[in-house]
Amino acid sequence: MKFPRPRSLNGLILVGFGIVALPLLLSVLWALYNLDRLASQSEELVFLGIASAENNRLLTEHVGSLDRAARQFNVLRTDDARDLMLQDLQTTEARLEAMRPLTGRATATNMLDTIGRDAIRITDALLTPGLSADEADVTLARFVDLRQDVSRLTRILSTYVDLELRSLQQRTREAQRVSAWQVALLVPGTLILVLIFTLLVARPIRQIDAAIHQLGKSGFSKPIKIRGPSDLERLSQQLEWLRLRLLELAQEKNRFLRHMSHELKTPLANIREGTELLLDGTLGELDKPQLEVTAILRTNGLKLQRLIENLLSFSAWQTQNEILTLTDFPLRALVISVAKEQRLALKSAHIQLRLDVADIIVNADRDKMRTVLDNLLSNAVKFTPRGGHVTIRAAAAAKGFTLEFADTGPGVPEDERPRIFEAFFQGRREQGGQVGGTGIGLSVVLECVQAHDGSVELVDSGEFPGAHFRIHIPQKRVPQTQKIAAHG
């Protein structure tokens, strides 16, 4: 069963606020209702207690006044004494009638009627003609029982008020317990509801953030689809449109690079063929200066070929889909081989190359490591002034090995450091060498290193005035030759 959800983010927030606030509101209303009810009952009980006490007091006074009037009439036997006694009887009856609602609640109506009947009987007996003195004394003695009945009625009413008070206290404690349970349930319940609606709001936002991060990392192959409120889904559709547009532009860029690189290969092949003919002596023997110039042409032709190959494989580097071909090889020999290929460029710029490479066996993709070494060395030669020097270091490290390239050039400006590994980015510094770069050399280095799960960084060691790159390549397994050396 699928429950309907709000169509917009604002609607979802409002519904979430309403659902979270509803239990709290109901709890507050229930507490206010109980508080008002208990206050009314407390007020009513106060009035009941006061009325009970006042009625008991007045009834006791009226019965006492009737006793005195009856005794006075028994002595005087005058009309005034008789009228006074009858008046006190009417007052007592009026008080008893006023107490009838209270005695009805206390189930003491029978006691009230008994007191009224006894008072009337005593009065009627005293008014009987020819009443003897002994009979009058017996009749007046019945006031003692009447007073006792009044006292019992007082105790019954007091007991009833006490019971009502205890009942009110019990209801108050029960309301307190219910309120405590409500608070105990509402706090975690509210937190759970807040968490649920936070997740409902945060999940599509996280998806949007991940989609934007995916686009920023050139991840155009994965479709963008976000489930949530309609306004966020519309934003998802716009991001999907942007992804498709960026994918189309990336494909157009790759097609352009392939076509341009293909067009460059034809004249470059002719240049290299002519250079090889000159070096072979097919067109005649060359003297030493001519051989050096021809060798420089050959070296730069090879360099142009590598740049074109980088352009052709640029999309493959970016997507990191190429499979590593891991082999064991001596790192120092590879560094020396790369350095020999660029000896003419170093010689022409009067740049001294300093090697501090440990004789270690590493397990990596040899071709990619050659690309890393070649690009970093070419980059160092470009930016190192005439008469400077370039340093290459390599050593074993914990669970891997490190490579360092440093030069005595101007270094990398602070504002350009975050972008030096971006494809096609070229700084403001003037480059040296016969052939300008394309701006993808360091990007290719980064892709090669990341393909090995390694890291490359620009460090400030203070040892070199120029750029200083440090690479760490982890070793997933120890090379076989190192295992043999360790056991030996």
CATH code of residue 245: 1.10.287.130
User: Residue type for 190, please?
Assistant: T
The larger pLDDT score, comparing residue 225 to residue 67, is at 67
Same domain, yes or no, for 481 and 355?
A: yes
Q: For the domain that residue 60 is a member of, what is the CATH number?
A: 1.20.120.1730
**Beta pairing, strands 455-458 & 468-474:** antiparallel
Phi, psi of 422 (to 5 degrees): -80, 145
Residue at a domain's end among 271, 290, 312: 312
| Together in a domain, 13 and 84 | yes
Mean pLDDT of the 385-407 span? 90
Report field, pTM of the whole predicted structure over 0.85: no
Domain assignment of residue 212, yes or no:
no
Q: Which phi-psi region, left, alpha or beta, contains residue 351 (left: φ > 0; alpha: ψ -120 to 50)? A: beta
Scanning 342-466, the segments in alpha helix (DSSP H) are 343-348, 366-383, 441-451
Q: Are residues 276 and 141 in the same domain?
A: no
| Co-location of 126 and 16 in the same domain | yes
Q: Residue 213: inside a domain, yes or no?
A: no
Nearest to 327 by CA among 358, 275, 291, 367: 367
pLDDT tens for 122-140 read: 999 988 888 888 888 899 9
Same domain for 128 and 14: yes
Give whichever of 8-17, 119-128, 307-316 has the largest mean pLDDT.
Answer: 119-128
Q: What angle do CA 255, 261, 265 make, to 5 degrees?
A: 145
Residue 48 sits in the same domain as residue 165: yes
- Residue 344 — very low, low, confident or very high, per pLDDT cuts 50/70/90? confident
Cα–Cα distance for residue pair 85/66, rounded to 1 Å: 6
- pLDDT tens digit string along 409-449? 888 888 888 888 776 666 655 544 444 445 677 888 888 88
Q: Does residue 4 sit within a domain?
A: no
Residues 304 and 355 grouped into a single domain:
no
**Do 333 and 480 lie in a common domain?**
yes
| Residue 163 within any structural domain of the chain | yes
d(CA 88, CA 80): 12
Q: What percent of the chain has pLDDT over 70?
A: 83
203 located within any domain: no
- The proportion of the chain whose per-residue pLDDT surpasses 90, expressed as a percent, equals 23
| Domain end residue (candidates: 196, 226, 242) | 196
> In 77-132, which ranges are continuous DSSP H helix?
79-98, 100-105, 109-126
In a domain, 73, yes or no: yes
Question: Same structural domain for residues 306 and 327?
Answer: no
- For the record, the structure tokens of 472 come out as 């760490």
- Both 85 and 133 in one domain: the answer is yes
What's the confidence (pLDDT) of residue 180? 81
Please answer whether residues 408 and 384 qualify as being in contact, where contact means their C-beta atoms are separated by less than 8 angstroms.
yes
Same domain membership, residue 436 and residue 346:
yes
pLDDT mean over 318-338: 79
Chain center to CA of 396? 42
| Cβ atoms 9, 231 nearer than 8 A | yes
3-class secondary structure, 389: strand
Provide the token pair at 401.
């090995």
> Residue 486: what pLDDT?
41
Q: What are 18-65's pLDDT values in tens digits?
A: 676 777 777 778 877 877 887 887 888 788 888 888 988 998 999 999
Query: What Å distances lie between residue 349 and 40, 289, 301, 380, 393, CA to CA?
Result: 102, 16, 18, 12, 21
Domain count, the chain: 3
333 with 304, same domain: the answer is no
Show the domain range for 404.
321-487
Secondary element (H or E) of residue 288 = helix 288-312
Q: How far apart are CA 245 and CA 249, in angstroms?
A: 6
Q: Express each pLDDT in 227-279 by its tens digit.
A: 766 777 777 788 888 878 877 877 777 677 666 666 776 777 777 777 877 77
DSSP string, 415-426: GGGGGTTSTT--
What is the spatial distance between Cα 231 and Cα 238, in angstroms, rounded to a whole number? 11
Domain boundary among the residues 286, 312, 338 is at 312
